[in-house]
């Protein structure tokens, strides 16, 4: 019997694949059999090395999404691509009363505008070959909650959740599954300061029913599921991978 979780024969493009969640997704895809295009604004060499050590296939692609339409030609130049993971994102922190227009625009351009135009460019190539594509967007717990001092991040990730559902409505019947993952508190470089703060770390762990921080691999496994034939009837879902945080 064939493995319904296999990505053998598929090509995936993962943005922000240089570290953290993006790196874990790229590595998980490679282990599941996919050829992975690791896109990033900074070097993805570490990710490529990890994939090579695991016996997988991967290549690097310089991609700076601060220009939201920078990826418009990516899927033509690297065709065919079967799976798109929109993981790249940035965050800016300040009290809302002091938040600047530049910080608003920078975050929205990368986290939402670039996501839409990458999805659009990907879909055009998939439609040309008659369907058979998967899009996985990376949302956030703040797609459902307000958070504090991150207004543009919260707005962008709320937008990602809404955009995921809209594109699923439009494209499900045309051969593209569009879904998203909403990670919880994951142990990455971005959360190192929180984990080092004894008080904040305890407060976070006390709220998580699983009693631990998530590992990047936890997100990688969820992404493999959504990219695989096992999720062929999953459309417009926002999959929470948060140790139960949102259920609390």
Six token digits for residue 220: 């990688």
Closest CA to 32 of 88, 77, 85, 73: 85
**What percent of the chain has a predicted confidence (pLDDT) above 70?**
99
In this predicted structure, the answer to whether residue 235 has a pLDDT above a threshold of 50 is: yes
Flag whether 120 is in a domain. yes
| pLDDT, average across residues 230-239 | 98
What pLDDT sits at residue 2?
66
Cα(86)–Cα(180) distance, integer angstroms: 9
pLDDT, mean of residues 27-32: 98
| CATH label of the domain that carries residue 160 | 3.40.50.720
Q: CA of 192: how far to CAs of 43, 62, 77, 220, 246, in Å?
A: 21, 26, 37, 19, 22
Q: What is the spatial distance between Cα 196 and Cα 218, in angstroms, rounded to a whole number?
A: 21
Name the residue range of residue 120's domain.
Answer: 11-240
Query: What pLDDT score does 123 carry?
Result: 98
Asked if pLDDT for residue 99 goes beyond 90, the answer is yes
**What number is the average pLDDT over the span 116-124?**
97
For the stretch 163-190, pLDDT in tens is 999 999 999 999 999 999 999 999 988 7
* Position 248 in a domain: no
For residue 32, which of 60, 64, 52, 3 has the smallest C-alpha distance? 3
Long-range contacts at 49-54 (CB < 8 A, ≥ 24 apart): 50/23, 51/26, 51/27, 54/27, 54/30
Question: Is 224 contained in some domain?
Answer: yes
pLDDT at res. 1: 41
Instruction: Judge whether 247 lies within some domain.
Output: no
Residue 146 belongs to a domain: yes
User: Could you tell me if residue 90 is inside a domain?
Assistant: yes
pLDDT at 193: 81
pLDDT at 240: 98
Residue 189: other Cβ atoms inside 10 A: 8
The alpha-helical segments, DSSP class H, found in 172-215 are 192-196, 198-207
Residues with a catalytic annotation lie at 153
In a domain, 5, yes or no: no
The model's pLDDT over 52-67, given as tens digits with 9 standing for 90+, comes to 999 999 999 999 999 8
Q: What is the pTM of this model?
A: 0.96
Query: Does 228 map to a domain?
Result: yes
| Residues 236 and 168 sit within 8 Å (Cβ to Cβ) | yes
Mean pLDDT of 119-132: 96
Question: Distance (Å, rounded) from C-alpha 87 to C-alpha 110?
Answer: 10
Domain count, the chain: 1
3-class state of residue 39 by DSSP: strand
């Amino acid at each position: 019997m064939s493995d319904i979780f296999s990505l053998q024969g598929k090509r995936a493009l993962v943005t922000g694949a240089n570290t953290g969640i993006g790196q874990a997704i790229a590595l998980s895809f490679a282990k599941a059999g996919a050829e992975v295009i690791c896109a990033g604004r900074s070097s993805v060499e570490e990710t490529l090395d990890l994939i090579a050590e695991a016996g997988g296939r991967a290549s690097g692609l310089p991609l700076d999404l601060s220009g939201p339409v920078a990826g418009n030609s990516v899927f033509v130049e690297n065709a065919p691509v079967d799976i798109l993971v929109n993981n790249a994102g940035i965050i800016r922190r300040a009290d809302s009363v002091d938040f600047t227009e530049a910080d608003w625009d920078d975050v929205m351009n990368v986290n939402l505008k670039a996501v839409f135009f990458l999805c659009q460019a990907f879909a055009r190539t998939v439609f040309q070959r008659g369907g058979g594509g998967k899009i996985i967007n990376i949302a956030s717990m703040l797609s459902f909650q307000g958070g504090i001092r991150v207004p543009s991040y919260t707005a962008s990730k709320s937008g990602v959740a809404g955009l995921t559902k809209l594109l699923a409505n439009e494209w499900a019947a045309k051969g593209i599954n569009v879904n998203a993952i909403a990670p919880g508190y994951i142990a990455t470089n971005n959360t190192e300061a929180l984990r080092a703060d004894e008080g904040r770390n305890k407060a976070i762990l006390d709220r998580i029913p699983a009693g631990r921080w998530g590992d990047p691999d936890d997100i990688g496994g969820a992404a493999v599921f959504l990219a695989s034939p096992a999720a062929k009837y999953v459309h417009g879902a926002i999959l929470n991978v948060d140790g139960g945080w949102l259920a609390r």
